[in-house]
Chains A and B, each alone.
Chain A
Amino acid sequence: MEPLVVPIAFLGGIGFIFGLGLAAASKKLGSAVDPRVEKILGVLPGANCGACGYAGCSGFAKAVAAGTADAGGCVPGGAKAAHDIADILGISAAAKEPMMAVVHCKGGKKEAKERAIYEGIADCHAAVLTGNASKTCADGCLGLGTCVRACPFDALEINENGVAVVNADTCTGCGKCVAACPRKIIELIPRVHKIFIACNNHDRGGRVKQYCTVGCTACTLCVKATPSGAIAMENNIPRLDYARKENFITAAYKCPQKCFVDLVKARPKANIDTTCNGCGECVAVCPVDAIRGEKDQRHIIDKEKCIGCGVCLDTCPLHAIALWGGLAYAHQDDRTRRVRR
């Protein structure tokens, strides 16, 4: 019995003294850590992506608790995180508009020509430093995956065609890839928009055609197809102004080079109900000539031709036109296909 008492008392003693010492120290030294910071940290995604402009989630949590950062500043956390943070702080917050990254290029191995063979370090920055990479197009995606490695959410991949594609489901719009791309062809667009232009070539049309079959030739048909003026040519490439009220469906349809990417595979189609008096206003505005009918008779819409742009809806004086059907997303279809394979 005797030999046990000393070590037990000894160990218990130092344990007790240390515990007491630390407790006293934390009372005395422990600078008051704001308990809200811990709570805010709990509702953040914890990816430390840096999209808020602070060094990691803890930096952002501290700034929010101190009142120097906006509660809706976490892009990946989105509306939910903003709401939770606002609850913790007892304020109201406006969430940032959800964004997603898009790659302004789809000219891969099949479509775009190479002018050399690059065998250096498998990194886009390295390739650009080596004679501006091997692709003839000076603005094309190099497919070496610098953006894929930069993505904290595994939302990017290099497809079989050698072009980076964003998975719209997992992309949080943090913007890491935008900063990583040496060719600056990744951009954040508002999530509600499903259409973007997959080209960033500033060359003249004739030259583009020589090295890429899906490159923008600056034909300006998309600009003409958008009477709202939300598309403007800028240095031989159309710029889509997502701040305007415009869905870009017509522009995407009219592009002869098929540069536009529409993440929606099937859109709801317009349908004219029985109140139609056959005034013919809609026939004049339909960009794809999908509406037929005799004067003063009920008009009908050719569902095969209709692209669901919705221009006729606002034109109808009787409000007899509505969009029927649901949305089907192209990337969701891709995903099911991938699983099956």
Chain B
Amino acid sequence: MDFGILVQICIGSIFINNFILSRYLGFCPFFGVSKKLSNAFGMGMAVIFVMALAATFTWIFNNYALKPQHLEYLQTIVFILVIAALVQLVEMVMLKFTPALYEALGIYLPLITTNCAILGAALINAGQNPYSGKDYTFVEALVNGVSSGLGFTLALLLMAGIRERLDLADIPRPLKGLPIAFISAGLMAIAFLGFSGLSFTK
């Protein structure tokens, strides 16, 4: 296994292809849960957790069930099913065995079961790895899932920090609330565009 490729995947999905700021996936929680830093942190942790789980299980499903049957065209619908069932199950297990963790992440889990960012991570894992030119291996898929979640959390936390300050700023009335948040998100996306200059190929 090439360790360099894992690093590339990591940097790639946190900064270059950030889920929110360059792929434009998962905007719903990005604007919904970015009003307070503490909530944003909880949401981010939940997303990392679910993305890692989803990446793992959808990869297994894709490689051992869909591909042998040549049913790749069912990926989207099967992944939704797998992720939803998985999150439900995890929620139940959490509630039973680690109520403290459930209290911390529980309210966010149903929100992101069928979130497009989670599905996006699963579908990207089903495609080709741009850094190796081959299909994602299991470890690569897992790393991609976790680092996509990290990228999401990074964007969410930055946004929450900005919005906490925006709350106290003197903003023209028509722009108060969501409009200024959209503008800030646009500016953040432009800033993150700078990372697209990063290249690993020689």
Contact = CB atoms under 8 A, between A and B. Distances in A.
Interface of A: 6-7, 10-11, 14-15, 18, 21-22, 25-26, 29-31, 121-123, 126
B70 to A, nearest CB: 9
Interface in B138-183: 168-170
A121 B71 contact: no
Contacts of A31: 95-96
B104 interface: no
A123 B71 CA distance: 59
B96 A22 contact: no
A122 B88 contact: no
A18 B81 contact: yes
B116 interface: no
A10 B74 contact: yes
B92 A18 contact: no
A122 B170 contact: yes
Contacts of A121: 168-169
A2 to B, nearest CB: 13
17 contacts: A6-B69, A6-B71, A7-B74, A11-B81, A14-B81, A14-B82, A18-B85, A22-B85, A22-B88, A22-B89, A25-B89, A25-B92, A26-B92, A29-B93, A29-B95, A30-B95, A126-B168
A7 B71 contact: yes
A11 B78 contact: yes
Contacts of B92: 25-26, 29-30
Interface in B77-111: 77-78, 81-82, 85, 88-89, 92-93, 95-96
Contacts, number: 44
A222 B48 CA distance: 64
B78 A14 contact: yes
B168 A122 contact: yes
B69 A10 contact: yes
A338 B169 CA distance: 30
A279 B122 CA distance: 93
Nearest to B89: A25
A118 to B, nearest CB: 12
Contact of B77 (A11, A25, A122): A11
A15 B96 contact: no
A233 B95 CA distance: 55
A141 to B, nearest CB: 19
A25 B85 CA distance: 11
Interface in B36-94: 65, 69, 71, 74, 77-78, 81-82, 85, 88-89, 92-93
B74 A29 contact: no
Contacts of A30: 92, 95-96
A22 B78 CA distance: 16
A6 B73 CA distance: 13
Given A18-B81, A29-B93, A30-B92, A10 B71 contact: yes
Given A10-B71, A14-B81, A29-B95, 17 more contacts: A10-B65, A10-B74, A11-B74, A14-B78, A21-B89, A22-B85, A22-B89, A25-B89, A25-B92, A26-B92, A29-B92, A29-B96, A30-B96, A121-B168, A122-B170, A123-B168, A126-B168
A121 B71 CA distance: 59
A14 to B, nearest CB: 6
B158 to A, nearest CB: 21
B45 to A, nearest CB: 18
* For the complex of A and B, 4 pairs with smallest distance between CB atoms: A18-B85, A29-B92, A29-B96, A121-B168
Contacts of A25: 89, 92-93
